[in-house]
Chain A
Amino acid sequence: MIKTDILIIGAGPVGMFAVFEAGLMKLKCHIIDALPMPGGQCAEIYPKKPIFDIPAYPEILAGDLIDNLSRQIAPFEPKYTLGERAQDIEKLNDGTFKVTTNKGTEHFASVVFIAGGLGSFEPRKPPIPNIANYEGKGVEYMVKDPEKFRNKKIIISGGGDSALDWTIYLSNIASEVSLVHRRNEFRGALDSVEKVSELSKAGIINLITEAEITEISGSKNLESVTIKDRKTKESKEKQCDYFIPLFGLSPKLGPIGNWGLEIEKNAIVVNNALDYQTNIPGIFAIGDINTYPGKLKLILCGFHEATIAVQYAYKIINPDKKYMMKYTTVNGVTGFNGEKKEAKKEVVKSI
Chain B
Amino acid sequence: MSDIKITIKDREGVIHYLDAPTDMSMNIMELCKAYELPVEGTCGGMAMCASCQCYILSDNIELPEMGYDEEVMLDQAFFVEDNSRLGCQISLTKELDGLEIELAPVSDD
Contacts and interface: CB of A to CB of B under 8 A. Distances in A.
Interface of A: 45-46, 49, 118, 124-127, 158-160, 182-183, 187, 247-248, 250-251, 266, 297
Interface residues of B, number: 19
B49 A159 contact: no
B107 A125 contact: yes
Contacts of B105: 127
Given A127-B107, A160-B76, A250-B42, 15 more contacts: A46-B46, A124-B78, A124-B109, A125-B107, A127-B105, A158-B76, A160-B72, A182-B80, A183-B75, A187-B71, A187-B75, A247-B76, A247-B77, A247-B78, A250-B49
The B interface, classified by DSSP as helix, strand, loop or mixed, is loop
A264 to B, nearest CB: 14
A247 B48 CA distance: 12
B78 A118 contact: no
B78 A126 contact: yes
B43 interface: yes
Contacts of A49: 46
Given A45-B43, A251-B42, A297-B44, A127 B79 contact: yes
Contacts of B107: 124-127
Contacts of A160: 72, 75-76
26 contacts: A45-B43, A45-B46, A45-B48, A46-B46, A46-B48, A49-B46, A118-B42, A124-B107, A124-B109, A127-B78, A127-B79, A127-B105, A127-B107, A158-B76, A159-B76, A160-B76, A182-B75, A187-B71, A187-B72, A187-B75, A247-B76, A247-B77, A247-B78, A250-B42, A250-B49, A266-B40
Contacts of B71: 187
Contacts of A183: 75
A166 to B, nearest CB: 15
Given A46-B46, A118-B42, A182-B80, A127 B75 contact: no
Contacts, number: 44
Interface of B: 40, 42-44, 46, 48-49, 68, 71-72, 75-80, 105, 107, 109
B109 A125 contact: yes
A247 B79 CA distance: 13
Candidate in A125, A187, A266 with the most chain B CB atoms within 10 angstroms: A187
Contacts of A45: 43, 46, 48
Contacts of A250: 42, 49
A44 to B, nearest CB: 10
A250 to B, nearest CB: 6
A222 B106 CA distance: 25
B31 to A, nearest CB: 18
Nearest to B79: A127
Nearest to A251: B42
A160 B68 CA distance: 13
A266 B44 CA distance: 15
The 3 closest A-B pairs by CB, nearest first: A125-B109, A127-B107, A159-B75
Contacts of A182: 75, 80
Given A49-B46, A250-B49, A127 B76 contact: no
Contacts of B68: 187
B106 to A, nearest CB: 9
Contacts of A126: 78, 107
A123 to B, nearest CB: 9
Contacts of B43: 45, 118
Nearest to B106: A127
B46 A127 contact: no
